[in-house]
Structure 1
Amino acid sequence: MGKGIDDTLLLREVMNTVGKPGRLGDSIRCVVSVSMLTEGWDANTVTHVLGVRAFGTQLLCEQVIGRALRRQSYDLDEEGLFPVEYADVLGIPFDFTAKPVVAPPQPPRPSIRVRAVRPERDALAIHFPRVIGYRVDLPEEHITARFTDDSVLVLTPNLVGPTITRNAGIIGEEVDLGLEHLEGTRRATLAFHLTRRLLETTWRDPDQGPKWHLFGNMKGICEAWLTDYLRCEGNTHIGQLFYQELADMACRRITAAVERAKDEKSHHGKVILDPYNPTGSTHHVDFHTTKTSRYRTDPRRCHIDWIITDSDWEAEFCRVAEHHPRVVAYVKNHNLGLEVPYRQGSRHRLYRPDFIVLIDDGHGERDLLHLVVEIKGYRGEDAKDKKAAMESHWVPGVDRLGNYGRWGFAEFTDVYEMQDNFAQELEKRFDEVSGAAIRES
C-alpha cells in the first residue's frame, strides 16, 4: 500500500494540513507560492526580478515584469515630476532587456509633525459637528422661491460634452451629428419634466408618495427658472436638460432657491450627525507630512503649530486672519475631518471647506461666530452646489442644533482683495448684530 504514495501526494498532504497538530503539515509556518508575481499580487518594494525558467505565454512574462514597475514613492520633486526609479530584470526569459542600471536608494524627504499644541493653546481649540446628511420638512401648501446669481446654470460643451460629432467611416460620406433632434423641445414640456422630477425625487417624505397637489405651484417656479436662470453656450440646447444628470443639476438649483425662501421665514432643515463620532475637534490633530507648502501659525491665533496650505492664496488668508482684531482663532481643515455632504447632479459628494475662523462679532466671548471660509480661484458649477449646501442645509441645520454655537459661510475669490473683503465680511456681520440689538431695545 505504501508503494502508491509518491512525492506529489506527500506534498499535497503537507499543504492540506499546514498548522494542524499531529499531521504532516504541523511544523509548516509559512507558504510562498512561486506564482506570486503574476496578476493579483502587488508590492511596490520589488527592485529585482530574476527569471529561472521559461514562461508559457508572453502575456505572463509581461505581467511578471509589471510587478516590478510599481513605484515606491509618489512624492514629487522640485520640478513637480516623479523621480526616476529603476527595477532590474534578469535571467531567462528576460535576456532581451537592457543592462542593469544602478539606482542608488533615495533618501526620504524631510517631514514635520503637525499637531495641536496642548495644553498651551487649548484655549484656541475649535469644535465642529460631523454631519452625514440632512432632513428637510416639506411644505404642505404654497411654496415660493428666491433665486440668486448662484441659481444660474450655464450649459457649455465643457459640462455636457461635444454638441457636434463627425461620423466618418473608411468609405462613404461623412455625417455631422448634432442636436437637431432637440430643436422641437418646448419650454413648457421641459418645465413639466423638471417638476415631475422634483416631486418624485426631492419633494417627498420617506415612504410617502409625491405631493402632486404642489405640481402647479412647482411648475410655475420651474418655468421662471428656465426663463431667467438657464443659459446655453457653445451650441448647447435647453433640450439637453432631459438628460438625467443635467436635470438633477437644474433640480438642485431650483430646490436651493425654494429652501432659501423658506429659511427666510423659519428654519425647517435639520442635519443628521454621525452617530458614532458626532463631534470633531482640533484637539485630535496630529500627523506627519513631507509637504513644503506650510505656514507657521501665530501661537495667539491657532491651536495647531503648522498650517499645511494648498496654494499661496491660503497662506495669504492665514496672514489676513492672524492680523484682524476680531479673529479669536482659526484653523485649516487639513486632516481635521470637517466634511459637508452635497449633491452634484445625481451624485452624492463630500465637500471639504478650507478654514474655520472664530470671530467676535459682538455677541461676546461666550458666543463666538464660527465662520467657514472657502478660498476659491476658479468658480465652476460645482462651487455653486457647495455654497448652496452650506447656506441652505449645513449652516441653518447646525445653528438649529444649538449646542455647536453660531455658524456662517463666506467665499473669497480674489487674492489681491482678500484682506479688504475679509474685513468687509466681518464688519457686515458685526453690523447685523448691532442692528438687531438696537431693534430689540
Structure 2
Amino acid sequence: MTQAPMPDGAGNNNAPQARGSAAVGAARVPAPAPAAGTVYGGGPTPTPKPRRTLLAVLIPTLVLAGLLGSGAAVQLTRDLPRPTLTSDITATLRIPGKPASMPWPGTGSAELMIEGLGRLGGSGSGPAQPIGSVAKVMTAYVILQNHPLDGDQEGPTLTVTADDVEDYEGRKVTGQSLVHVEEGEKLTERDALEALMLPSANNIAHQLAIWDAGSEDAFVDRMNAAADELGMANTEYSDPSGFLPTTISTAADQVILGRAALKLPAFAEIVELPDATIPVAGKINNYNDLLGENGVFGIKTGSTDQAGGCLLFAARLKVGAKTLIIIGAVFNQPGANTPEQLAAVNKVVRKLLTSVRKTVKEYELLPTAPAGRVETAWGETATISPATPLKVVGWPGLSVPVKVRTTAPAEGIAAGQEVGEVEASGVRVKLHTDTAAPEPSLWWRLTRLE
C-alpha cells in the first residue's frame, strides 16, 4: 500500500534541513572551541595569561584592616618594652701610665702602703732580720689590747718594785735605752707607754711585761700569739724590748702591725708626741727625728749593732680634699753606732716620702668615652658614657675596684638621659646616654607580638 507522503518537517528525520534564514525553529548547536595553536589568518592564537591572584594584595589589606579595627588601639597604646643596658666597665680598672720607680734602699728592706689604696711597693725579700726597738710596737699593742685606754684616761697604776730597779741598774752597763726609776715610784699605764715609745725605755718594756703577764716569757708568748693573729708570718719575738737579736721580723710584717696599732687611739696619740713628762724621769723626748717632717707622725725607731737603723713610720699625705695615711718601714740600714744608723734610715725615708708625694696624686681612671650601650626592642641603640671623667687618687699601675650601678630607661632613649653611675675610691660619676634613639615605627607598633 502506498503510504501517503507526510508534510515537510513533520517528524521525518531524514528530510533535508532548511538552510539559511529560511530554517525556522531549527536547533543551534555550538561549534567546538578551536584547538590551541589553530591558525587564523596566518598566525598563532595568543596563549591566555594566568590571572593575577588577589591573595597577595588582599591578605595584607585584610590584616591591616583588622588591626585598624578594635585591636589597633590596643597595640598603639601598649607600653613599650624597657630597653636593655650593657656596660663595658669591668670590676677593676688600672690607673694608666708607667709605674713610678721608687728610691728603695740598696741594703736592708723597705715597705710602703697607703691606707685605703693599697701597697705601693717594697724591697729586700730576704729572711727576717733583727728589728731592735721597733719590737716595742708589739709590746704597746698587746698592753693596749689587754688594758684599753679611752680618751684621756691614764689607766691603772704601776708601782716600781725593787726588782724593777735592779733590772734598770743591770741594763745600764750594756748601754741600753732606759728611763730612770726609783722604788715605790707610781707610773700610770699611759706614763709607762710614753716612756716605752718616746725614749724607747727597755726597762719599762720589761716592767710592763711583768705587770701584764706575770713574767717576761709569758708576755712574749702573747706577743707571738698576736703576731700570728695579725698574719705576721715572718716574725718571731724573743723579748719585749727588741734588744735581743733573736727578735726578728720583716718590713712588710711590721707594716701590718703598724696599721693595726694606729687604730688604737691611745697608741696613735702617744707616738705623735714630741715629748712628755713622767714621774721621776721628768721630761722625756721622742727619739723619732722625722716627727713633723713630711707629715710624719710616728711610729717607732730601732737600732742595735745587729739590726742597724730601723724605722716604722706613718705620715699624712694631702691630695686635693683627701688626707691619706702612709705607713712604711725601712730596716737594717748600716752605721757604726745608733746616731749613724738612724741618720741612714732617715735619709732613705725622706727620699721615699718625697717620691710618694710626686707619685701619688689624682689620675683619670675612666674618660668621657662610650662605656656601654642601650638597645631598644625595635633594634635602635645609643652609647652610654660617664658624664665627666672619673678621677681617683693613686699612682700609675694601681688596680682600683669599680662599682657600676645601672638602670635602663623605662621606654625610649633620650640624649643625656641618666642611666646609672660608676664609683671608684669613693668618687661617683653619673652615666648618661650620648644620643637619642628613634621611636618605633607605626608598623612595628601594630605588628609587635611581645
TM value normalised by structure 1: 0.20
Pick the structure with more strand per residue: 2
Pick the structure with more helix per residue: 1
Q: Which has the higher contact order (CA 8 A, sep 6+)?
A: 2
Of structures 1 and 2, the larger Rg is shown by: 2
TM value normalised by structure 2: 0.20
